[in-house]
Chains A and B, each alone.
Chain A
Amino acid sequence: AQSVTQLDSHVSVSEGTPVLLRCNYSSSYSPSLFWYVQHPNKGLQLLLKYTSAATLVKGINGFEAEFKKSETSFHLTKPSAHMSDAAEYFCVVSDRNFNKFYFGSGTKLNVKP
């Protein structure tokens, strides 16, 4: 069975400092993994996805994530936070057999000036 654990429910960083949002997954086979962002009172936007090509995936707005099979992790990083990055971020794993997707509980990122 597939599942996702987002290790931090809230992360707070200062503007200009690095961002690290942690995600661990469980999957019975090689998964597809995704990060989505949701700004307040908005819908979900795809940031990036891993689909078995390069293990380091680059997404929009300077975000990237690294797939580490040995650690079953897919952490999201950004070198320098902007105020506009304040949002909630969701890590997602897919079950390709049934085209179903499993969400983590989310990490709220706060960016301080």
Chain B
Amino acid sequence: DAGITQSPRHKVTETGTPVTLRCHQTENHRYMYWYRQDPGHGLRLIHYSYGVKDTDKGEVSDGYSVSRSKTEDFLLTLESATSSQTSVYFCAISAGTGPFQETQYFGPGTRLLVL
């Protein structure tokens, strides 16, 4: 257990509204990630962070923004939710330092339904 929590765990929202998902970690890991999981696609990277205020885009970043003002929190915002953003969202951290030591651990997920 890498001490990762996500909130909310479930959310229903309407098209066009902004939504923010929160990921919180307790172990001061440098790297944090947001993924979405959809059937047949595995997990796809939305954004990731390599430190406070340091973020970069993943493969499916359109329509999403992130912020990391503290080591322990990584926020994902859907600026104007669309039905195509209905998904399960997972936060992850990368633990371990040095060559070949990186390993990801995941939060419990957030189920988002956009109506």
**Interface, chain A (partner B; CB < 8 A):** 9, 32, 34, 36, 42-44, 46, 49, 51-52, 90, 92, 94, 96, 99-101, 103-106
Tally of B interface residues using CB under 8 Å: 26
- B50 contact set on A, CB distance < 8 A: 99
B2 nearest in chain A by CB position: A46
B103: A residues at CB distance < 8 A: 34, 46, 49
Q: Check if A105 sits within 8 Å of B40, measured CB to CB.
A: yes
Does B18 count as interface, using CB distance less than 8 angstroms? no
* Segment of B68-76, B77-85, B105-113 engaged in the interface with chain A: B105-113
Q: Considering the complex of A and B, which 3 residue pairs feature the smallest CB-CB distances, nearest first?
A: A51-B100, A103-B42, A44-B106
Which A residues are CB-close (under 8 A) to B35?
A: 103
Contact with A along B41-65 (1 / 0, CB 8 A): 1111100101000000010000000
Q: Which of B48, B50, B101, B104 has the most CB of A within 10 A?
A: B104
Closest beta carbon of chain A to B16's beta carbon, Å? 28
Q: How far is the CA of A44 from the CA of B104 in the complex (A)?
A: 10
